[in-house]
Structures are given as structure tokens and as C-alpha cells.
Amino acid sequence: MESNMQNLSLSGNAPPNKLGLLPLAAKKQRNTEKGTKVLVETNIRRLTIAPNQPIYKYAVEVKYFYSKADGSEIAVEMSKSVKKGTEHDNDKTRCQKVYNEAIKRYDALKTGGPFFYDRQASLYTLSKLKNENISFDVVEGISKRPNFKKAQFVLKKVDESFQSTSNDIKKTVHPCPANADKTLLEALNIVVSGPAYENKNVITIGSCVHYLIDTAGVDINFKNYQEGYLYSGVGASKAVKTLEGSDRKEPSLFMTTESELACKKRTRTVFFTVKTTLFHPDYYPLLEVMKSYKGFATNLKANSFAAQRIEKAFVGLDVVLDYGPHKGLQEDGVVMNIRKFGTTASETTFELGGKNTTVFNYFKTKYGITLKYPDLFTVEAKGKKGKIHIPVEVLLLCPSQTVTNDQMINNEQADMIKLSAAKPQVRKATTDCIVKKVGLASNNIYNFIKVEEPIKVEGMVLNKPKIVFAENKMAVLNDPRAKFPTDFNRAGKYYIAKELTNWEIVFVQGEDMPGLDKILVEEMKNNGMKAAMPATSTIVRGDLEPIFKKAKDAKRQLLFFVIKSRYNYHQQIKALEQQYDLLTQEVRAETAEKVPRQSQTRLNIVNKTNMKLGGLNYVIGSESFNKPGRLIVGFETSQRSGGNPDLNETFRQHVKDACISLSETYRPNFTIIASSKTHNERLYKSDKGQILNLEPGTVIDHTIVSPVYNEWYHASAAARQGTTKATKFTLIFTTQPAEPMWNLQQLTNDLCYDHQIVFHPVGLPVPLFIAGRYSQRGAMVLAANDGPKYKDGQVDLQETNKELGYGGKKLFETRFNA
């Protein structure tokens, strides 16, 4: 067991191959033709920097040396860590410790400056070091690991090609992403945080997120939690980037600032973060945290209901060993990731020295530790040679870990959404207040940088598309009676109404709803569908497969499940749908109860049914759609910056290959567009001094976009609560360089209206929205079938797609995931 844990946090991964040597689509002129002008306020601040200021960059190398069991040494470079999460943060902490020792030893790092160290491989300063080559070893006060030998620090000047001055703004951008010199931006991202680092009322997480300790004067609600000992706090994040500015030929530096939520533990003065979610306490005993959860007991078994509930809150978290030789090591300790809860320490056995022993006996024999809670479930983690089971009482939670949506077992997610879903005028005022309090809005940073007030830009509100139902009846947009200007009502029957004559409603035994079938059939007929009354069946003791077997034999078109939210049948239903090639639709029983009295609920349900059957509720009339011989390929990415080399260099060729595979003569004009919502830019409509949400259809394609890529921000949907977040689009590639920007913008705008189930635009073009749902469905089917198929130790894609895919099924011809 011990060898299974050794050196787990000392391994690394090779960096990926370099991409980005091909240019993205050539820059187009902004849209000044189509739409209505509107004034837009932002959270983006221009940075004015002193001219001719050199920025000196020095390479830092930090290595830690450890002894191995055979007496030899192993060197691990911490300054180029490719690890993730806790282990990456620990490597940065190790670098900082050694750098602090360098400051003590060398006057060159005490005078001049100021100095800005990124806690990895780069040191920036505004004055040249008197000693540009520093090297030393240090042993004491650096690491608590028993096999630690020494740390080595090396500092040297980088090549001249990597030096920068404040005049190098143009070099930071390039049509070929890999050719952009990011040195100046890397330096400025650290420099502008200088006042925040020096602020005694601020704690910094990572390198760019700063949180207030004393939140007096910040008008925001706070939330307390008993389970997990958490409560919320506030801070701000920032990012320095080069944008187009007022002159495309002379790009400018800007800083985006966004307010953040954070979380504190009530029983300690530890500060940890939350970004519209929560974080766990740092280096707190795992057992003590678990004790705060309802139903916990020190003899709890892993298969009990209470343990399964608690397990959901902890799976995926990093913990550090805290016993025997690992005691008190914290960031120097061995990090493990919780995979699940396992059998108790007294029940779990493994082979040691040719004999079986229990985890309880192992700790007693090996370390002289008599576990206090041998009848409590253990934590299962991945060891060097397979899975291992570790007692909860010998583990500490690693710091600054976000609570994912999957780990939220109460109302945390809803609470965080409410807490962060501030109205636009509140969000902007709060962000501006926090930015100033943490020190990011200084008008004089080291006599080098001035941070201006957030800029205002001109936007365009695009024209709305036509929504056409059967018999060419058009929906009314901008209806003054509508709550939102882009909401529309059904103007007629479905454009393509399908027939449903052989279907079945499925309830849980004893929970049927008499009369529901008749109401649904009537609603279908009102919308133009031909519908017959369904058969009815019930789920007995949670056994779903007999339902599918009988329905398959009866050649049902659709299984319509009505199930209360407390039942967790969704994944199994969708896996059986794929297996039996039988269309399904699920409605929560709580929603179905509203059907008799809520016309909109009835319509939404039947809208989905018609789409699942391959119908079409309405069509979009758009001048941007009528372009024959054209293929548009869209991607939703998590990349913040627009220059996505993978899409341009890898997927572009895949698109060409796919076209050839369809037909040797199929050579359409094609365009690749990337979209992302992971950016930090916030945009607001400014109307006679009021801060409002952007009107759906608003686009901004100048000043706050890349000076070398075609980018635009697009607010397509109305914010039902809180503040609108625009989608950022980037034109990656096109075979039609003369196509105007407004046409691409109108295309993405009008596609957002094509959801078909809800009668208003959504936040992404619907093909991307649907693609995301298909991705989720694929992951769900894989999980339900214990992952992909393997052959000779490798994933067998052909067999996986054959057995778990949809390509050869009737479902493929429907919108089964509607």
C-alpha cells in the first residue's frame, strides 16, 4: 500500500505539439449597415502605459531533489509544472519558497525593481538587475518531505528576442496565433496586480483573482451554510489583453475586470474562493468536514443512503495524506483524488508480503496507529498500481477547491445563481466598487500604468427574423404585451405536424394521472398533429427494461414517461432508448400536474413531442439563410481567446475530408465560426443614464475585439434573471473573404430563434445548442454502459460507435434529444 502512494505528485506530462502557424480569416470591415445603433457600457478599461519603458524578463528555474529507495536522487523541475489543480498550486508554492530565499541572499533582488514573479519560470522587472546570473542550492526551511535533499534556484537573462518594452503592443497580436509575442501581456498581467498584492485587505488566489477580507462598503448579500462550514465573500478577477481600440492600425491595451464570489469557513480565518459556486476549506481534517453533514456517523457504511448522499459532495476532491511519515506535510504531502467511498478499514483487505491483511491491521502494524473509526467507510483513490482504500481520519482536504455542480447536494447551486444573478445596474456598480477596493483601478501603478474608467462603445441591434407557421402565418415579434420583446406566440398550426398513433404513457406504479392522456392528445390536435389515445403502462419496482421490451414488440412510436423528480431514471431511460432504438420523452410528474391549468406547459410538452417525431413547429425566414452552395461549421469552445489553432489547422481539414467523403464533386464554400461564453467581458445597454440588459440581437464588432481576428459579441437571448452574458464569436476560416460581417452576425442571430420548443431565442445558435445536448447524451450512454469498448487495451471506436452510437438506428432520423 505504501509503495502505491510514493512519488505520486512528482510525475509530469509532456507539453502538446505547437499549433497556430496558419493565419485565421483576414480581418473584415465592421458592420455599420444593418441594425439600429445603441450605446453599450462595459467592464473593460483602457490601460495607458508610459512610453519607452523597458520590461526585463528573466528565466527562473527551480528544481527539487529527492532521494529514492535505492539511494539515488531524482530531480523534479517545479518551475515548468504541467500538473493540474492542487498539485500545480503546490508546485507554485514550492517555487515561491525558493524565490523568497533568493531575495534574502541577493541584493540584486532587493534594490531597483519593482519585481514581479509569476511563481513559475518568469521574473519581470522595470529595471535591469545588477546581477543577471544567480544560482544557489538551499536545504533548510524548504520542504518537510523526509526524502527531500535540496532545492536549486537558477536565474538568468532570457534571449534578447524575449525582451520587451512598452512600445511593443503591436507584437502581442498576430493573424497566426503562435507568432504573437505575449511577453508584454504576461508582464502586465502581473504588474497591474501589484497594488492588490500589497493591499493588506486582499488575499490573492492564483495570479489574477483578488478577494476582500473586510467587505465593508460592498453592497451584496452573503450566504451561510451549515454543511461544509461555508459562507460567501467577494473579490475581482482581471485579464490584460490587446484589443482593437479606436484605431485598428494602432491597437491598445485593455483590462477586463469582473466581480467574483468567494467562500469562508466559519470556524477559521481561512479565505477561499468561489466563482458562482463554492470552495472547500483548506487543509481541514476530512473527517471533521464530513461530521457537518446530516446523517453522518462514524460507523457509516458506503452503501447506506446517508453515505451515498455525502459521497456525492466529495467525489472528485483532492486530499493529502496526514499520518506517519506524511504527518504535517500539507503542500509537501502526497495528493490523492477521491473516486468513491469504499468498504470499512476493518473489512477492506489487500495483499502484503504474500499475505492478506486489512487496512486496519496495516496501519497498526506499519505505523503503530490504531484507527479510531475502523467501521467507517474508507476513501477509494487511484494509486500507482491500482485502487487503494484510505481511512477518512488520516486525510486533509487540499485548499481552494471549487464545489462543482455535481457536488452540490442541497440548494447551493440555486443560491449561488441567485447571489450572482444581480440586475445589470447592480452588477456593474458592485464590480466597479470591488475593483477599486482591491486596487485594480489605480490611476498610477508604479509610475508606469494608468487604469482608465470603463469604456463605452457603439453597438448594433440586428433586425429580427420572420417566424413562419403553417399556411404562411407569421408570429408577431416586438409584441407590446410580451414580457420580453423577442418572445412570440404560436401564430398557427405546426409547419410540419407529425402523426402519433401508436404510443404509450408510462407512470410509476400507483402514481398514474387519469385524464392526462386526453388533454395531451387534444393539444396535439390543436397544433395540427394527428394523434390517437395512448396505451398506458407502469414501472414496477424500478424495473424499466420490461417496458422497453413490450413497447418494441408493439412497435410503439414513442414511450412517454411521467415520473416524479425524486426518481433517478433519466440515464437508464436514455441508455435503453439507444439500446432498443425506441424514441422516449420524459416529463416530470410535478410539471404534468400543471398541464390541466397551464396552456403554456401543455404547448411546451407537445412542441417537444412533434420535434422528437421529426416534425417542424415553425421555420425561420432570414436573408442570411438564402445562400446556396455554402456550409457553415460552428464550434462551441471553452477557450477565452479567439485564436483557436486547433479549429483552423486540424478541424478545417476534417471538414474538407468530410465533404469529399459525401461526394467527389461536393465542394461547397465553407466557413468555420467558434463561439464561447467563458470570457470575462460584461456588456450593458446605456439608455439615458440607466444601465440595462442588452436588447436581444445586440452585436459589438469593434474597439473591444481583436485587432487581427474577426470577432463580435452577440447578446441573443433576454435575461430572465440577472445580467445578460453575450456570446463571443470568432471567424476562424472562410472561403468567402468578401462576405460582409453583418451577414455572419445576422446568421448567428437568426439561428438562435430556431429552438422550436421554447418560443424565444436562446443563448447560442441552435445547431450548437443541439450539438451540446448530443455530447451530453453520448457521455450519458457511455456511463450507463460502463464506458467505451476496448480492444487490445485501446478504445475501439468502431465497435463503440456500432454498439453505443445512433448512426445505424431509426433514432438518427429524429431529434431524439429534443
Provide mean pLDDT across the span 527-537: 97
Confidence of residue 207 (pLDDT cuts 50, 70, 90): low
Provide mean pLDDT across the span 176-202: 89
**Widest pairwise Cα distance in the chain:** 88
Confidence of residue 270 (pLDDT cuts 50, 70, 90): very low
Question: How many CB atoms neighbour CB 684 within 10 A?
Answer: 24
Provide mean pLDDT across the span 396-422: 74
Residue type, 70: D
pLDDT recorded at residue 220: 73
Question: Sign of dihedral through CA atoms 322, 326, 329, 334?
Answer: negative
- CA 80, CA 82: separation in Å to the nearest integer? 6
- CA 443, CA 452: separation in Å to the nearest integer? 7
pLDDT greater than 90 at residue 762 = yes
Cell triple for 325 = 511519515
pLDDT recorded at residue 752: 96
- CA 194, CA 47: separation in Å to the nearest integer? 15
Domains of the chain (ranges; CATH) run: 54-164 (no CATH), 284-398 (2.170.260.10), 467-621 (3.40.50.2300), 644-804 (3.30.420.10)
Tell which residue, 596, 643, 748, has the closest CA to residue 178: 643
Question: Sign of dihedral through CA atoms 620, 625, 628, 630?
Answer: negative
Concatenating the DSSP letter of every residue in 105-121 gives H-GGGTSS--EEE-SSS
pTM of the shown model: 0.84
The model's pLDDT over 481-531, given as tens digits with 9 standing for 90+, comes to 778 889 999 999 999 999 999 999 999 999 999 999 999 999 999 999 999
The model's pLDDT over 793-805, given as tens digits with 9 standing for 90+, comes to 899 999 999 999 9
- CA 503, CA 558: separation in Å to the nearest integer? 5
- CA 206, CA 210: separation in Å to the nearest integer? 9
Provide mean pLDDT across the span 142-154: 95
pLDDT recorded at residue 664: 84
Residue type, 398: C
Provide mean pLDDT across the span 741-756: 96
| DSSP reduced 3-state for 633 | strand
pLDDT > 90 in the chain, percent = 61
In 654-805, which ranges are E strands? 669-676, 683-687, 690-692, 698-700, 710-715, 727-734, 790-791, 794-795
Tell which residue, 237, 298, 255, has the closest CA to residue 46: 255
> How does the average pLDDT of the chain come out, rounded?
88
Contact predicate 378/348, CB 8 Å: yes
Tell which residue, 340, 282, 277, has the closest CA to residue 307: 340
Contact predicate 166/52, CB 8 Å: yes
pLDDT greater than 90 at residue 671 = yes
Range in 14-18, 180-184, 229-233, 301-305 the model is least confident about:
14-18
Contact predicate 77/488, CB 8 Å: no
pLDDT greater than 80 at residue 260 = no
Cell triple for 720 = 430572465
pLDDT recorded at residue 133: 92
In three-state form (DSSP H/G/I as H, E/B as E, the rest C), the secondary structure along 508-528 is: ECCCCCCCHHHHHHHHHHHCC
The model's pLDDT over 702-732, given as tens digits with 9 standing for 90+, comes to 999 999 999 999 999 998 888 899 999 999 9
Contact predicate 808/799, CB 8 Å: no
Contact predicate 244/703, CB 8 Å: yes
The model's pLDDT over 89-137, given as tens digits with 9 standing for 90+, comes to 899 999 999 999 999 999 989 888 889 998 999 999 998 998 999 999 9
pLDDT recorded at residue 197: 83
Confidence of residue 642 (pLDDT cuts 50, 70, 90): low
- CA 606, CA 614: separation in Å to the nearest integer? 13
- CA 38, CA 686: separation in Å to the nearest integer? 8
pLDDT recorded at residue 416: 66
Provide mean pLDDT across the span 385-407: 85
The model's pLDDT over 571-604, given as tens digits with 9 standing for 90+, comes to 999 999 999 999 999 999 999 999 999 999 999 9
Distance of CA 491 to the CA centre of its chain: 38
Contact predicate 732/644, CB 8 Å: yes
Residue type, 813: E
What ranges in 63-182 are assigned the alpha helix state H?
85-105
In 246-334, which ranges are E strands? 252-265, 271-274, 278-279, 318-321
What H or E segment, with its residue span, contains residue 758?
A: none
Tell which residue, 671, 730, 734, 726, has the closest CA to residue 699: 726
Cell triple for 687 = 439608455
For 364-369, which contacts have Cβ atoms below 8 Å and span 24 or more sequence positions?
366/2, 366/324, 367/323, 367/324, 369/323, 369/324, 369/394
Provide mean pLDDT across the span 407-431: 77
Residue type, 612: K
Confidence of residue 3 (pLDDT cuts 50, 70, 90): very low
How distant, in Å, are the alpha carbons of 160, 178, 458 from that of 18? 22, 8, 37
Provide mean pLDDT across the span 51-61: 92
- CA 116, CA 204: separation in Å to the nearest integer? 14
Confidence of residue 11 (pLDDT cuts 50, 70, 90): very low
